[in-house]
Amino acid sequence: MNFGDSFFAVFKNAFKAYFKNSFNIEEAENEVKDFRGAYLMIGQHLAIEDSLIAISYSGKLIRFLAAEGNMDIGWKNVVFRLFNVIPFARQRLDVKAIRKLKETVDEGQSIGLFPEGARSWDGRQRPIVASTAKLIKMLKVPVYNITFRGLHLSRPRWADGNGRKGKVLVSIRRILSKEEIQNATLDDVLKKMESNIAFDEFEWQRKAKVRFKGKNLAEYIERVLYRCPVCDAVNSLSSKGDDFSCSACDAVYSVNTYGMIEGCERFDCTADWNAWQRVRIPEFLNTEFSFYNPSIALLRAVGEKRLSDTVDMTLTQNSVSIVYPDGKREDIPLIETRGCDALFCNLVEFWHGDIKYQFRFEPLKKHMSVKLFEDILLVHIEAAKQKAKASEGK
């Protein structure tokens, strides 16, 4: 038993009490609390706290897998090391992380991961990383799934502060035994995960009608919503208090205590609104645009070396242009970027060659929507992958 296990053993009851009180958690079912062997915990990735809630309600320390970009954030690095988090690189096949996972379960310890690979922006499931099925087959340990209802509405990714107080339902149950894994195909395992991970916070909320009380319910919603459904303007939304509006057409919307959007005829939730705007990104990339982001924080990583600067960044349909404090300019073609990843509610990082760039977006400093930046990069990266596949097939 290492320090992390000992620390958790001493404070696990306090952790559980804290989360129960903070989120008003109701435990619907828990099939893992009496299981003593190694297992894999999977679940919906909805909030920063979801892995800690999973650990608290399982009763033992689970080594969760997390993107290595988190290790660049000071306090998170400390917490991750304390709880034996296993970092992995999303932009490549991380053999070291996979080996560590196998060693951990072979030692009788449990591990956890989120098959979506990233936290939901809008309360709806993201696509599952298909290679997770291969990992499950390799590990050969039981798989438990934790589901949350109300967690996104308690802590929307796009919001600041301590969120809102309502109710969160937690359920943990086994979805695959060792024997089932051994006899299942990869496709069987993938379908099992997809059916259990699937969720839509707002579909649940329309029936549950739980109030989530808090202040400034709409503030920073422009991080995730960037296209106005009334006038079709892009990057024109701004928020204050419980309201947000479009500067191009003066349309005004609001977020109520149920977490639903009011004042919009087309959408009553961020999930539907985001789905609509996201599929239109390829169309938007055929237009000329330019988003200027003054005084934006940049972390530039080359190997183990980290350089922090405040720069001016401009995004166009073809490139990211950076002007450094000394006047030096760097132009990065979007088609050459890879490994795009959004962290927290305001960080986006990507790779160009062997260099990692991480930008910190702040709406109050007149920076663009962080989700718009992420979506544009992801479309370019996917286009580059498809182009490479087409070339290989010739």
Q: What is the pLDDT of residues 10-26, one digit of tens each?
A: 888 999 999 999 999 99
Percent of the chain with pLDDT over 70: 94
- Residue 56: name the closest of 9, 109, 120 by CA: 9
Average pLDDT, whole number, for the chain?
92
Q: Which of 79-83, 230-234, 243-247 has the lowest mean pLDDT?
A: 79-83
Distances (CA, A) of 234 to 141, 220, 248, 328, 359: 47, 16, 9, 29, 20
pLDDT of res. 1? 60
Residues pairing with 318 in the sheet: none
98 or 332: which leads in pLDDT: 332
Q: Indicate if the pLDDT at residue 197 is higher than 90.
A: yes
- Residue 228: name the closest of 201, 253, 196 by CA: 253
Name the helix (H) or strand (E) containing 88.
strand 86-88
Rounded Cα–Cα distance for residues 77 and 90 (Å): 17
Q: Indicate if the pLDDT at residue 109 is higher than 80.
A: yes
Rounded Cα–Cα distance for residues 171 and 173 (Å): 7
Rounded Cα–Cα distance for residues 39 and 140 (Å): 9
- Under 8 Å between Cβ of 43 and 146: yes
- Residue 180: name the closest of 151, 137, 146 by CA: 137
Using a cut of 0.85, tell me whether the model's pTM lies above it: yes
Report, as an integer, the average pLDDT of 24-32: 96
16 phi and psi angles, rounded to 5 deg = -65, -40
Rounded Cα–Cα distance for residues 341 and 325 (Å): 25
Report, as an integer, the average pLDDT of 225-229: 98
pLDDT of res. 67? 73
Most confident of 31-35, 67-71, 93-97, 310-314: 310-314
pLDDT of res. 275? 98
pLDDT of res. 93? 57
Q: Which of 143-147, 217-221, 341-345 has the lowest mean pLDDT?
A: 341-345
- Residues 6+ positions from 256 with CB-CB distance below 8 Å: 217, 242, 262
Would you place residue 8 in the very low, low, confident or very high pLDDT band (cuts 50, 70, 90)? confident
pLDDT of res. 383? 87
- Under 8 Å between Cβ of 105 and 111: yes
Give the pLDDT confidence of 302-328 residue by residue, as tens digits. 988 999 999 999 999 999 999 999 999
Q: Is residue 392 classed as helix, strand or coil in its secondary structure?
A: helix
216 phi and psi angles, rounded to 5 deg = 50, 55
- Under 8 Å between Cβ of 30 and 172: yes
Rounded Cα–Cα distance for residues 66 and 27 (Å): 25
68 or 210: which leads in pLDDT: 210
Burial of 266 (0-12, 13-18, 19+ CB in 10 A): exposed
Rounded Cα–Cα distance for residues 25 and 150 (Å): 9
